[in-house]
Amino acid sequence: MSAKAEMFSLLSGPVLPLKPIPFNRPSVMGNEFEYMSKAVEEMHISGDGGYTRACHRKLQTLIGAPKVLLTTSCTAALEMSALLLDLQPGDEVILPSFTFVSTVNAFALRGVTPVFADIRPDTLNLDERILPRLVTERTRVIVPVHYAGVACEMDAILKIASENGIAVVEDNAHGLFGTYKGRNLGTFGCLATQSFHETKNLTCGEGGALVINDLQYADRAEILREKGTNRAAFFRGAVDKYTWVDIGSSYLPSDILAAYLLGQLEEAERIQRERRRIWEGYWRGLASWAVSAGVRLPVIPGHCLQPYHMFYLLMPTAELRDGMLAHLKERGIHSVFHYVPLHLSPQGRKFGGREGDCPVTEDISARLLRLPFFNQLGSEDQERVVEAVIEFEG
Ligand SMILES: *Cc1c(COP(=O)(O)O)cnc(C)c1O
Protein backbone atom coordinates (compact mmCIF):
# COMPACT_ATOMS: atom_id res chain seq x y z
CA MET A 1 0.00 0.00 0.00
CA SER A 2 1.34 3.46 -0.86
CA ALA A 3 1.86 6.00 1.90
CA LYS A 4 -1.05 7.99 0.53
CA ALA A 5 -3.40 5.03 0.49
CA GLU A 6 -2.33 4.12 4.00
CA MET A 7 -3.20 7.60 5.15
CA PHE A 8 -6.66 7.34 3.67
CA SER A 9 -7.27 3.98 5.26
CA LEU A 10 -6.97 5.63 8.70
CA LEU A 11 -9.94 7.33 10.28
CA SER A 12 -10.33 10.80 8.87
CA GLY A 13 -8.87 13.50 11.11
CA PRO A 14 -8.02 17.16 10.72
CA VAL A 15 -4.61 16.37 9.19
CA LEU A 16 -6.15 14.67 6.16
CA PRO A 17 -6.34 16.91 3.11
CA LEU A 18 -9.35 15.05 1.66
CA LYS A 19 -11.98 12.96 3.36
CA PRO A 20 -12.65 9.52 1.99
CA ILE A 21 -15.64 9.13 -0.32
CA PRO A 22 -17.40 5.85 0.43
CA PHE A 23 -19.03 3.71 -2.24
CA ASN A 24 -22.36 3.77 -0.42
CA ARG A 25 -23.79 5.61 2.57
CA PRO A 26 -27.33 5.07 3.83
CA SER A 27 -29.36 8.22 4.43
CA VAL A 28 -32.31 9.31 6.52
CA MET A 29 -34.58 11.16 4.13
CA GLY A 30 -37.76 11.94 6.06
CA ASN A 31 -39.78 10.53 8.97
CA GLU A 32 -37.79 7.30 9.47
CA PHE A 33 -36.79 7.98 13.12
CA GLU A 34 -40.18 9.36 14.09
CA TYR A 35 -41.99 6.31 12.70
CA MET A 36 -39.56 3.90 14.33
CA SER A 37 -40.05 5.41 17.76
CA LYS A 38 -43.82 5.43 17.24
CA ALA A 39 -43.70 1.72 16.41
CA VAL A 40 -41.89 1.16 19.70
CA GLU A 41 -44.26 3.41 21.67
CA GLU A 42 -47.28 1.64 20.19
CA MET A 43 -45.78 -1.66 21.37
CA HIS A 44 -45.95 -3.37 18.01
CA ILE A 45 -42.44 -4.26 17.01
CA SER A 46 -42.95 -7.78 15.61
CA GLY A 47 -44.06 -8.25 12.02
CA ASP A 48 -47.22 -7.21 10.17
CA GLY A 49 -48.13 -4.19 12.26
CA GLY A 50 -49.48 -0.89 10.99
CA TYR A 51 -46.23 0.20 9.36
CA THR A 52 -45.91 -3.05 7.43
CA ARG A 53 -49.49 -2.69 6.20
CA ALA A 54 -48.80 0.92 5.19
CA CYS A 55 -45.71 -0.22 3.23
CA HIS A 56 -47.79 -2.89 1.49
CA ARG A 57 -50.34 -0.32 0.32
CA LYS A 58 -47.67 2.16 -0.74
CA LEU A 59 -45.67 -0.43 -2.69
CA GLN A 60 -48.79 -1.81 -4.37
CA THR A 61 -49.55 1.70 -5.62
CA LEU A 62 -45.97 2.59 -6.58
CA ILE A 63 -45.35 -0.67 -8.47
CA GLY A 64 -48.92 -1.08 -9.70
CA ALA A 65 -49.13 -4.67 -8.47
CA PRO A 66 -52.19 -6.33 -6.90
CA LYS A 67 -50.34 -7.66 -3.86
CA VAL A 68 -47.00 -6.96 -2.18
CA LEU A 69 -45.66 -8.60 1.00
CA LEU A 70 -42.67 -7.21 2.88
CA THR A 71 -39.97 -9.77 3.56
CA THR A 72 -36.75 -9.77 5.57
CA SER A 73 -34.75 -9.46 2.33
CA CYS A 74 -34.87 -9.91 -1.41
CA THR A 75 -33.15 -13.22 -0.74
CA ALA A 76 -36.16 -14.28 1.38
CA ALA A 77 -38.57 -13.17 -1.35
CA LEU A 78 -36.63 -15.25 -3.90
CA GLU A 79 -36.78 -18.26 -1.55
CA MET A 80 -40.53 -17.77 -1.22
CA SER A 81 -40.82 -17.70 -5.03
CA ALA A 82 -39.03 -21.03 -5.32
CA LEU A 83 -41.35 -22.52 -2.68
CA LEU A 84 -44.50 -21.07 -4.26
CA LEU A 85 -43.65 -22.55 -7.65
CA ASP A 86 -43.37 -26.01 -6.03
CA LEU A 87 -40.03 -26.69 -7.66
CA GLN A 88 -38.56 -30.17 -7.35
CA PRO A 89 -35.03 -31.56 -7.55
CA GLY A 90 -34.21 -32.07 -11.21
CA ASP A 91 -36.17 -29.02 -12.33
CA GLU A 92 -34.13 -26.34 -14.09
CA VAL A 93 -34.00 -22.58 -13.67
CA ILE A 94 -32.44 -20.27 -16.27
CA LEU A 95 -30.77 -17.18 -14.83
CA PRO A 96 -27.86 -14.92 -15.73
CA SER A 97 -24.41 -15.86 -14.44
CA PHE A 98 -23.89 -12.12 -13.96
CA THR A 99 -25.98 -11.63 -10.82
CA PHE A 100 -25.94 -11.72 -7.04
CA VAL A 101 -25.69 -15.15 -5.36
CA SER A 102 -29.21 -14.96 -3.90
CA THR A 103 -30.74 -15.19 -7.38
CA VAL A 104 -29.37 -18.70 -7.69
CA ASN A 105 -29.28 -19.82 -4.03
CA ALA A 106 -33.04 -19.55 -3.61
CA PHE A 107 -33.48 -22.21 -6.31
CA ALA A 108 -30.41 -24.31 -5.50
CA LEU A 109 -31.77 -24.70 -1.95
CA ARG A 110 -34.77 -26.54 -3.44
CA GLY A 111 -32.50 -28.88 -5.42
CA VAL A 112 -33.19 -27.05 -8.67
CA THR A 113 -30.41 -27.13 -11.27
CA PRO A 114 -29.22 -23.68 -12.34
CA VAL A 115 -28.64 -23.12 -16.05
CA PHE A 116 -26.44 -20.05 -16.43
CA ALA A 117 -27.22 -17.73 -19.32
CA ASP A 118 -24.83 -15.22 -20.80
CA ILE A 119 -25.68 -11.50 -20.95
CA ARG A 120 -26.16 -8.94 -23.69
CA PRO A 121 -23.06 -6.78 -24.21
CA ASP A 122 -25.14 -3.55 -24.18
CA THR A 123 -27.47 -3.69 -21.12
CA LEU A 124 -25.59 -6.53 -19.35
CA ASN A 125 -28.95 -8.31 -18.98
CA LEU A 126 -29.74 -11.96 -19.59
CA ASP A 127 -29.45 -12.42 -23.37
CA GLU A 128 -32.93 -13.39 -24.51
CA ARG A 129 -31.57 -14.48 -27.91
CA ILE A 130 -29.87 -17.54 -26.41
CA LEU A 131 -32.91 -18.72 -24.43
CA PRO A 132 -34.11 -21.11 -27.16
CA ARG A 133 -30.79 -22.99 -26.79
CA LEU A 134 -31.13 -23.24 -23.00
CA VAL A 135 -34.78 -24.26 -22.61
CA THR A 136 -35.31 -27.98 -22.01
CA GLU A 137 -38.23 -30.21 -20.99
CA ARG A 138 -37.24 -29.60 -17.39
CA THR A 139 -37.05 -25.78 -17.47
CA ARG A 140 -39.57 -24.48 -14.92
CA VAL A 141 -38.47 -20.88 -14.34
CA ILE A 142 -36.63 -18.02 -16.04
CA VAL A 143 -35.28 -15.30 -13.72
CA PRO A 144 -34.57 -12.03 -15.52
CA VAL A 145 -32.43 -9.66 -13.42
CA HIS A 146 -32.86 -6.04 -14.52
CA TYR A 147 -29.23 -5.02 -14.13
CA ALA A 148 -28.83 -1.44 -12.87
CA GLY A 149 -32.62 -1.26 -13.15
CA VAL A 150 -32.46 -1.26 -16.95
CA ALA A 151 -35.10 -3.67 -18.22
CA CYS A 152 -34.42 -7.06 -19.75
CA GLU A 153 -36.08 -7.65 -23.14
CA MET A 154 -39.34 -8.71 -21.53
CA ASP A 155 -41.40 -9.20 -24.73
CA ALA A 156 -39.05 -11.93 -25.97
CA ILE A 157 -38.62 -13.49 -22.51
CA LEU A 158 -42.37 -13.63 -21.81
CA LYS A 159 -43.00 -15.09 -25.27
CA ILE A 160 -40.60 -18.00 -24.90
CA ALA A 161 -41.79 -18.58 -21.34
CA SER A 162 -45.46 -18.76 -22.26
CA GLU A 163 -44.81 -20.95 -25.31
CA ASN A 164 -43.05 -23.46 -23.06
CA GLY A 165 -45.17 -23.23 -19.90
CA ILE A 166 -42.30 -21.66 -17.95
CA ALA A 167 -42.81 -19.26 -15.02
CA VAL A 168 -41.04 -15.88 -14.95
CA VAL A 169 -39.77 -14.50 -11.63
CA GLU A 170 -38.21 -11.04 -11.93
CA ASP A 171 -35.28 -10.31 -9.64
CA ASN A 172 -36.07 -6.61 -9.46
CA ALA A 173 -33.60 -5.76 -6.69
CA HIS A 174 -32.18 -2.88 -8.78
CA GLY A 175 -35.31 -1.99 -10.71
CA LEU A 176 -37.90 -0.32 -8.46
CA PHE A 177 -39.31 2.58 -10.57
CA GLY A 178 -37.72 1.30 -13.79
CA THR A 179 -40.00 0.72 -16.79
CA TYR A 180 -40.02 -1.33 -20.01
CA LYS A 181 -42.13 0.12 -22.84
CA GLY A 182 -43.99 2.23 -20.30
CA ARG A 183 -44.79 -0.62 -17.89
CA ASN A 184 -43.26 -0.86 -14.41
CA LEU A 185 -40.58 -3.44 -13.73
CA GLY A 186 -41.81 -5.90 -11.14
CA THR A 187 -45.17 -6.35 -12.92
CA PHE A 188 -44.03 -8.75 -15.67
CA GLY A 189 -43.35 -11.97 -13.79
CA CYS A 190 -46.00 -14.01 -11.99
CA LEU A 191 -43.77 -13.08 -9.04
CA ALA A 192 -41.11 -10.41 -8.60
CA THR A 193 -38.73 -9.57 -5.79
CA GLN A 194 -37.52 -6.23 -4.42
CA SER A 195 -34.61 -5.40 -2.11
CA PHE A 196 -34.39 -2.72 0.56
CA HIS A 197 -30.81 -3.56 1.48
CA GLU A 198 -28.65 -0.62 2.50
CA THR A 199 -27.12 -0.40 -1.01
CA LYS A 200 -30.42 -0.09 -2.89
CA ASN A 201 -32.32 3.11 -3.84
CA LEU A 202 -34.78 2.77 -0.94
CA THR A 203 -33.70 0.96 2.19
CA CYS A 204 -34.48 -0.17 5.71
CA GLY A 205 -31.04 -1.73 6.27
CA GLU A 206 -32.06 -5.30 5.49
CA GLY A 207 -35.42 -5.84 3.85
CA GLY A 208 -37.26 -6.87 0.73
CA ALA A 209 -40.63 -7.57 -0.79
CA LEU A 210 -42.40 -10.25 -2.76
CA VAL A 211 -44.55 -8.80 -5.53
CA ILE A 212 -47.42 -11.11 -6.41
CA ASN A 213 -48.83 -10.40 -9.86
CA ASP A 214 -50.58 -13.75 -10.27
CA LEU A 215 -53.02 -13.87 -7.36
CA GLN A 216 -53.21 -17.67 -7.42
CA TYR A 217 -50.05 -17.46 -5.25
CA ALA A 218 -51.41 -14.90 -2.77
CA ASP A 219 -52.93 -17.11 -0.05
CA ARG A 220 -50.07 -19.57 0.02
CA ALA A 221 -47.53 -16.73 0.08
CA GLU A 222 -49.08 -15.45 3.31
CA ILE A 223 -48.89 -18.94 4.80
CA LEU A 224 -45.26 -19.62 3.79
CA ARG A 225 -44.25 -16.25 5.18
CA GLU A 226 -45.88 -16.99 8.56
CA LYS A 227 -44.15 -20.31 9.37
CA GLY A 228 -46.63 -22.37 7.38
CA THR A 229 -49.59 -21.16 9.46
CA ASN A 230 -52.80 -19.40 8.48
CA ARG A 231 -52.07 -16.64 11.00
CA ALA A 232 -52.60 -13.84 8.47
CA ALA A 233 -56.09 -15.11 7.57
CA PHE A 234 -56.88 -15.55 11.29
CA PHE A 235 -56.00 -11.92 12.07
CA ARG A 236 -58.18 -10.78 9.17
CA GLY A 237 -61.01 -12.78 10.72
CA ALA A 238 -61.18 -15.05 7.69
CA VAL A 239 -60.71 -18.28 9.73
CA ASP A 240 -61.60 -18.90 13.40
CA LYS A 241 -58.39 -20.54 14.55
CA TYR A 242 -54.83 -20.53 13.38
CA THR A 243 -52.72 -23.60 12.91
CA TRP A 244 -49.98 -25.27 10.88
CA VAL A 245 -51.38 -25.80 7.37
CA ASP A 246 -48.34 -26.00 5.07
CA ILE A 247 -44.55 -25.86 5.12
CA GLY A 248 -43.09 -22.41 5.65
CA SER A 249 -40.59 -20.21 7.38
CA SER A 250 -40.39 -16.76 8.94
CA TYR A 251 -40.05 -14.19 6.20
CA LEU A 252 -41.68 -11.13 7.77
CA PRO A 253 -39.63 -8.17 8.99
CA SER A 254 -40.07 -6.33 12.29
CA ASP A 255 -42.47 -3.40 12.15
CA ILE A 256 -39.56 -1.20 13.30
CA LEU A 257 -37.89 -1.83 9.95
CA ALA A 258 -41.17 -1.29 8.11
CA ALA A 259 -41.43 2.06 9.93
CA TYR A 260 -38.00 3.06 8.58
CA LEU A 261 -38.98 1.89 5.11
CA LEU A 262 -42.24 3.84 5.16
CA GLY A 263 -40.23 7.01 5.89
CA GLN A 264 -38.19 6.26 2.75
CA LEU A 265 -41.18 5.32 0.59
CA GLU A 266 -42.83 8.63 1.41
CA GLU A 267 -39.70 10.39 0.09
CA ALA A 268 -39.37 8.18 -2.99
CA GLU A 269 -39.81 11.03 -5.44
CA ARG A 270 -37.11 13.13 -3.80
CA ILE A 271 -34.78 10.14 -3.52
CA GLN A 272 -35.21 9.44 -7.22
CA ARG A 273 -34.60 13.11 -8.05
CA GLU A 274 -31.34 13.09 -6.10
CA ARG A 275 -30.21 9.89 -7.77
CA ARG A 276 -31.02 11.27 -11.18
CA ARG A 277 -28.91 14.35 -10.37
CA ILE A 278 -25.98 12.09 -9.44
CA TRP A 279 -26.32 9.83 -12.47
CA GLU A 280 -26.53 12.78 -14.85
CA GLY A 281 -23.61 14.46 -13.08
CA TYR A 282 -21.43 11.44 -13.85
CA TRP A 283 -22.68 11.32 -17.41
CA ARG A 284 -21.99 15.00 -18.06
CA GLY A 285 -18.59 14.80 -16.41
CA LEU A 286 -17.41 11.60 -18.07
CA ALA A 287 -19.09 11.19 -21.47
CA SER A 288 -16.45 12.88 -23.62
CA TRP A 289 -13.54 11.46 -21.60
CA ALA A 290 -15.06 7.98 -22.02
CA VAL A 291 -15.06 8.30 -25.82
CA SER A 292 -11.40 9.31 -25.94
CA ALA A 293 -10.32 6.72 -23.33
CA GLY A 294 -12.23 3.86 -24.97
CA VAL A 295 -14.34 3.43 -21.85
CA ARG A 296 -17.98 2.41 -22.20
CA LEU A 297 -20.66 4.04 -20.03
CA PRO A 298 -24.10 2.50 -19.25
CA VAL A 299 -26.44 1.92 -22.19
CA ILE A 300 -30.11 2.78 -21.62
CA PRO A 301 -32.27 1.69 -24.59
CA GLY A 302 -34.91 4.21 -25.65
CA HIS A 303 -37.81 1.98 -24.56
CA CYS A 304 -36.49 1.68 -20.98
CA LEU A 305 -36.65 4.20 -18.14
CA GLN A 306 -33.94 3.54 -15.59
CA PRO A 307 -34.31 4.15 -11.83
CA TYR A 308 -30.75 5.56 -11.45
CA HIS A 309 -29.55 2.71 -9.29
CA MET A 310 -25.86 2.79 -10.23
CA PHE A 311 -23.22 4.27 -12.49
CA TYR A 312 -20.60 1.97 -13.92
CA LEU A 313 -17.56 2.21 -16.19
CA LEU A 314 -16.56 -0.57 -18.57
CA MET A 315 -12.81 -0.20 -18.90
CA PRO A 316 -11.04 -1.36 -22.09
CA THR A 317 -9.16 -4.17 -20.28
CA ALA A 318 -9.15 -6.03 -16.95
CA GLU A 319 -5.74 -4.51 -16.13
CA LEU A 320 -7.07 -0.98 -16.62
CA ARG A 321 -10.09 -1.78 -14.44
CA ASP A 322 -7.87 -2.99 -11.61
CA GLY A 323 -5.59 0.00 -12.18
CA MET A 324 -8.54 2.41 -11.98
CA LEU A 325 -9.80 0.78 -8.74
CA ALA A 326 -6.35 1.22 -7.17
CA HIS A 327 -5.95 4.74 -8.56
CA LEU A 328 -9.27 5.83 -7.00
CA LYS A 329 -8.48 4.08 -3.75
CA GLU A 330 -5.24 6.04 -3.46
CA ARG A 331 -7.33 9.19 -3.70
CA GLY A 332 -9.65 8.03 -0.94
CA ILE A 333 -12.44 7.08 -3.35
CA HIS A 334 -14.05 3.71 -2.85
CA SER A 335 -15.24 2.18 -6.11
CA VAL A 336 -16.14 -1.50 -6.44
CA PHE A 337 -16.29 -4.23 -9.06
CA HIS A 338 -19.47 -6.19 -9.54
CA TYR A 339 -20.47 -9.81 -9.83
CA VAL A 340 -17.83 -12.43 -10.20
CA PRO A 341 -19.47 -14.81 -12.72
CA LEU A 342 -21.53 -17.37 -10.81
CA HIS A 343 -20.74 -20.20 -13.22
CA LEU A 344 -17.01 -19.84 -12.39
CA SER A 345 -17.47 -19.64 -8.60
CA PRO A 346 -16.57 -22.73 -6.55
CA GLN A 347 -20.28 -23.56 -6.11
CA GLY A 348 -21.10 -22.74 -9.73
CA ARG A 349 -18.43 -25.17 -10.88
CA LYS A 350 -20.13 -27.92 -8.87
CA PHE A 351 -23.09 -27.34 -11.19
CA GLY A 352 -20.80 -27.84 -14.18
CA GLY A 353 -19.76 -24.23 -14.84
CA ARG A 354 -16.64 -23.92 -17.05
CA GLU A 355 -14.55 -21.11 -18.56
CA GLY A 356 -16.04 -20.07 -21.86
CA ASP A 357 -19.65 -20.97 -20.97
CA CYS A 358 -20.66 -17.30 -20.77
CA PRO A 359 -17.99 -15.34 -22.70
CA VAL A 360 -19.66 -11.92 -22.45
CA THR A 361 -20.14 -12.29 -18.68
CA GLU A 362 -16.53 -13.36 -18.22
CA ASP A 363 -15.25 -10.42 -20.23
CA ILE A 364 -17.55 -7.74 -18.73
CA SER A 365 -17.12 -8.88 -15.14
CA ALA A 366 -13.35 -8.30 -15.38
CA ARG A 367 -13.74 -4.80 -16.84
CA LEU A 368 -16.61 -3.25 -14.85
CA LEU A 369 -16.34 -0.88 -11.93
CA ARG A 370 -19.04 1.04 -10.07
CA LEU A 371 -18.51 4.60 -8.89
CA PRO A 372 -19.67 5.94 -5.48
CA PHE A 373 -23.46 6.38 -5.65
CA PHE A 374 -25.73 7.35 -2.79
CA ASN A 375 -28.55 9.85 -2.23
CA GLN A 376 -26.43 12.39 -0.38
CA LEU A 377 -23.35 12.33 -2.60
CA GLY A 378 -22.74 16.09 -2.89
CA SER A 379 -21.64 17.82 -6.10
CA GLU A 380 -18.20 18.69 -4.70
CA ASP A 381 -17.46 15.08 -3.80
CA GLN A 382 -18.83 13.94 -7.13
CA GLU A 383 -16.56 16.39 -8.92
CA ARG A 384 -13.63 14.94 -7.01
CA VAL A 385 -14.59 11.47 -8.27
CA VAL A 386 -14.97 12.69 -11.85
CA GLU A 387 -11.63 14.50 -11.76
CA ALA A 388 -9.87 11.49 -10.28
CA VAL A 389 -11.31 9.20 -12.98
CA ILE A 390 -10.22 11.55 -15.76
CA GLU A 391 -6.72 11.87 -14.27
CA PHE A 392 -6.12 8.13 -14.56
CA GLU A 393 -3.28 7.41 -16.96
CA GLY A 394 -3.51 3.62 -17.01
C1 LIG B 1 -29.13 -6.88 -3.57
C2 LIG B 1 -29.54 -7.98 -4.48
C3 LIG B 1 -30.19 -9.14 -4.03
C4 LIG B 1 -30.32 -9.48 -2.59
O5 LIG B 1 -30.96 -8.54 -1.85
P6 LIG B 1 -31.06 -8.74 -0.25
O7 LIG B 1 -32.22 -7.83 0.07
O8 LIG B 1 -29.76 -8.29 0.31
O9 LIG B 1 -31.36 -10.16 0.02
C10 LIG B 1 -30.64 -10.06 -4.95
N11 LIG B 1 -30.47 -9.87 -6.26
C12 LIG B 1 -29.84 -8.79 -6.75
C13 LIG B 1 -29.69 -8.64 -8.23
C14 LIG B 1 -29.32 -7.83 -5.87
O15 LIG B 1 -28.67 -6.77 -6.35
The pick from 81, 146, 197 for probing ligand 1's pocket by mutation, whose C-beta has the most ligand atoms within 8 angstroms, reads 197
From ligand 1's centre to the CA of 75, what distance in Å? 6
- Closest ligand 1 atom to residue 196 Cα is 7
Residue 113, strand partner residues: 92
Give the per-residue pLDDT at 394.
Answer: 78
Tell me the C-alpha distance between 384 and 254, whole Å. Answer: 39
Please report, for residues 81, 98, 362, the alpha-carbon distance to residue 351 in angstroms, rounded to integers and kept in the order given: 21, 15, 17
- Closest ligand 1 atom to residue 145 Cα is 13
- Please report, for the chain, the start and end positions of each structural domain, with discontinuous segments joined by +: 32-266, 268-391
Q: Closest residue (by CA) to atom 5 of ligand 1?
A: 74
- Closest ligand 1 atom to residue 208 Cα is 7
From ligand 1's centre to the CA of 368, what distance in Å? 18
Q: Closest residue (by CA) to atom 8 of ligand 1?
A: 197
Residue spans of alpha helices (H) in 129-189: 131-134, 154-163
User: CATH number of the domain at 32-266, please?
Assistant: 3.40.640.10
From ligand 1's centre to the CA of 102, what distance in Å? 6
- Nearest 5°: the CA angle 217, 218, 222 is 115
From ligand 1's centre to the CA of 333, what distance in Å? 24
Which residues, 6 or more positions from 59, have their beta carbon under 8 angstroms from its beta carbon?
Answer: 65, 68, 70, 194, 209, 211, 265
The stretches in the chain having pLDDT less than 70 are: 1-17
CA proximity to 74, closest of 209, 222, 221: 209
From ligand 1's centre to the CA of 199, what distance in Å? 9
Give the per-residue pLDDT at 199.
Answer: 97
Give the per-residue pLDDT at 1.
Answer: 45
Q: Closest residue (by CA) to atom 14 of ligand 1?
A: 173
Q: Is 178 in contact with 305 (CB distance < 8 Å)?
A: yes
The pick from 23, 70, 72, 74 for probing ligand 1's pocket by mutation, whose C-beta has the most ligand atoms within 8 angstroms, reads 74
- Closest ligand 1 atom to residue 200 Cα is 1
From ligand 1's centre to the CA of 365, what distance in Å? 17
- Closest ligand 1 atom to residue 77 Cα is 9
CATH 3.30.70.100 fits 268-391, yes or no: no
Residue 21, strand partner residues: 333
Tell me the C-alpha distance between 374 and 364, whole Å. Answer: 23
Give the per-residue pLDDT at 17.
Answer: 66
> For residue 89, how many other CB atoms are within 10 A of its CB?
8
Which residues, 6 or more positions from 156, have their beta carbon under 8 angstroms from its beta carbon?
Answer: 128, 129, 131
Give the per-residue pLDDT at 10.
Answer: 53
- Which DSSP symbol is given to 279? H
pTM summary value: 0.94
The pick from 24, 71, 100 for probing ligand 1's pocket by mutation, whose C-beta has the most ligand atoms within 8 angstroms, reads 100
From ligand 1's centre to the CA of 283, what distance in Å? 25
Q: What is the pLDDT of residues 64-91, one digit of tens each?
A: 999 999 999 999 999 999 999 999 999 9
Which residues, 6 or more positions from 10, have their beta carbon under 8 angstroms from its beta carbon?
Answer: 16
From ligand 1's centre to the CA of 144, what distance in Å? 13
The pick from 171, 251, 312 for probing ligand 1's pocket by mutation, whose C-beta has the most ligand atoms within 8 angstroms, reads 171
Q: Is 260 in contact with 28 (CB distance < 8 Å)?
A: no
Q: Closest residue (by CA) to atom 6 of ligand 1?
A: 74
Residues with a CB atom less than 6 Å from ligand 1: 73-75, 99-100, 102-103, 145, 171, 173-174, 195, 197, 208
Q: Closest residue (by CA) to atom 15 of ligand 1?
A: 173
CA proximity to 36, closest of 209, 200, 202, 258: 258
Of all helices (H) and strands (E), which one includes residue 359? helix 359-367
